[in-house]
């Protein structure tokens, strides 16, 4: 079957659609009726429509799921950074919906195609709750900083109001955590993975909800190295010739929510989980700075979570340290 490559630039209200075999830019409303019209436009007998969208936000979620369910349509959710770098090679000086859609169609035609696998409804709800919790936590931290500044003087007069807001935020966060926990316990797969997470001394309910919310939607065929890259915890080397040899750092080109969710568990596990503590001290003895050692613990802990999810077994500290010792 022949293939036609399609790029879709998604906004809140509209879908700008460019096809390689059609010079015209077509527009569809970004709602259920517009999605049906777009599928009818793309689904032609005797060909496969390979569609590329950017994974830029919530507005592209519904259309990606709808297209993935349609017959003779293949969907890819491209990394926005990869699309930006790809577009830079064309030396485009302007930016609008048509240019973006055409670039996405070219991306679908020229770059390796990675099919989009939609997350389960339960996984999407859990991720939505966990990210809302993260957003409210950021607001609460900011309010606590303002309270510290307001408490430094009696002339400010806003400390009482800030305290009221902090109490409200704490209640809302707890409500959302209870809702997320109930949803996890209502699903067998989520509940099993949650139990694996909390078997680690350092991952309690709050951290488990945040970590599980980011991991549950990942494709099942991803290996632990891909998980590490997804989290932005993979090492980034920078060398050029014989004169430029910078120290390796983590790339940070990944899921910032997952990195943040792993940090405090790594801090606590490095103190309370015996074999993780041994590994952490081993890194310090090898000359690593404390933050470098913690990042290494985060990376190895993520790999251990991948192993637990794959096997369905609880955390085994001896396996963690032996694997880390070999890798080191």
Residue 13 sits in a domain whose CATH number is 3.30.420.40
| CB-based contact 8:16 (threshold 8 Å) | yes
What confidence tens digit (pLDDT) does each residue in 29-73 have? 999 999 999 999 998 877 899 999 988 778 888 999 999 999 999
Asked if the structure places residue 207 within a domain, the reply is: no
Asked if the structure places residue 143 within a domain, the reply is: no
Of the candidates 56, 85, 110, which is a domain's last residue?
110
Of the candidates 78, 110, 142, which is a domain's last residue?
110
Which residue is associated with the tokens 């790999």? 303
- Spatial distance between the Cα atoms of 223 and 213, rounded to a whole number of angstroms: 18
Asked if the structure places residue 35 within a domain, the reply is: yes
Question: Which of 93-102, 211-220, 259-268, 316-325 has the least mean pLDDT?
Answer: 316-325
Q: What is the pLDDT of residue 246?
A: 62
pLDDT interval class at 120 (50, 70, 90)? confident
What would the two tokens of residue 140 be?
């609460």
Asked if the structure places residue 205 within a domain, the reply is: no
Asked if the structure places residue 141 within a domain, the reply is: no
How big is the CA angle at 271 (ends 255 and 195), to the nearest 5 degrees?
60
Q: What is the pLDDT of residue 278?
A: 93
Q: What is the pLDDT of residue 242?
A: 61
**Is residue 237 pLDDT above 70, yes or no?**
no
Domains of the chain: total: 2
Of the candidates 47, 78, 110, which is a domain's last residue?
110
Asked if the structure places residue 136 within a domain, the reply is: no
| CB-based contact 190:126 (threshold 8 Å) | yes
- Spatial distance between the Cα atoms of 170 and 175, rounded to a whole number of angstroms: 9
Collect all residues with Cβ–Cβ distance below 8 Å to 284 and sequence separation of at least 6.
290, 293
Asked if the structure places residue 200 within a domain, the reply is: no
Range of the structural domain that residue 64 is part of: 2-110
- Spatial distance between the Cα atoms of 244 and 104, rounded to a whole number of angstroms: 35
What would the two tokens of residue 252 be?
């940070």
Question: Which of 27-36, 249-258, 298-307 has the least mean pLDDT?
Answer: 249-258
Asked if the structure places residue 142 within a domain, the reply is: no
């Amino acid at each position: 079957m022949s293939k036609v490559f399609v790029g879709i630039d998604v906004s809140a209200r509209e879908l700008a659609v460019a096809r390689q075999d059609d010079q015209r830019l077509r527009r569809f409303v970004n709602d259920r009726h517009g999605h049906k019209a777009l599928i009818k436009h793309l689904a032609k007998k005797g060909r496969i429509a390979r569609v590329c969208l950017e994974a830029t936000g919530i507005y592209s979620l519904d259309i990606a799921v709808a297209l993935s369910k349609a017959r003779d349509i293949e969907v890819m959710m491209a990394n926005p950074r990869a699309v930006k770098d790809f577009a830079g090679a064309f030396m485009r000086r302007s930016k609008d919906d048509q240019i973006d859609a055409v670039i996405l169609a070219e991306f679908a035609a020229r770059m390796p195609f990675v099919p989009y696998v939609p997350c389960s409804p339960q996984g999407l709800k859990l991720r939505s709750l966990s990210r809302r919790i993260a957003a409210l936590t950021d607001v609460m931290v900011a309010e606590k900083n303002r309270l510290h500044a307001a408490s430094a003087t009696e002339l400010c007069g806003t400390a009482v109001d800030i305290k009221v807001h902090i109490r409200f935020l704490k209640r809302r966060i707890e409500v959302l955590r209870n809702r997320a926990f109930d949803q996890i316990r209502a699903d067998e797969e989520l509940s099993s993975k949650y139990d694996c997470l909390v078997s680690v001394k350092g991952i309690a309910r709050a951290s488990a909800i945040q970590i599980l919310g980011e991991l549950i939607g990942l494709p099942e065929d991803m290996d632990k190295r891909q998980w590490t890259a997804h989290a932005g915890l993979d090492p980034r080397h920078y060398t050029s010739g014989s004169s430029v040899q910078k120290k390796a750092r983590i790339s940070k080109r990944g899921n910032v929510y997952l990195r943040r969710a792993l940090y405090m568990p790594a801090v606590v596990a490095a103190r309370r989980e015996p074999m993780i503590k041994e590994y952490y001290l081993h890194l310090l003895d090898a000359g690593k700075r404390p933050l470098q050692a913690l990042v290494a613990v985060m990376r190895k802990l993520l790999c251990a979570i991948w192993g637990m999810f794959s096997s369905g077994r609880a955390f085994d500290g001896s396996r963690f340290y032996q694997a880390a010792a070999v890798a080191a």
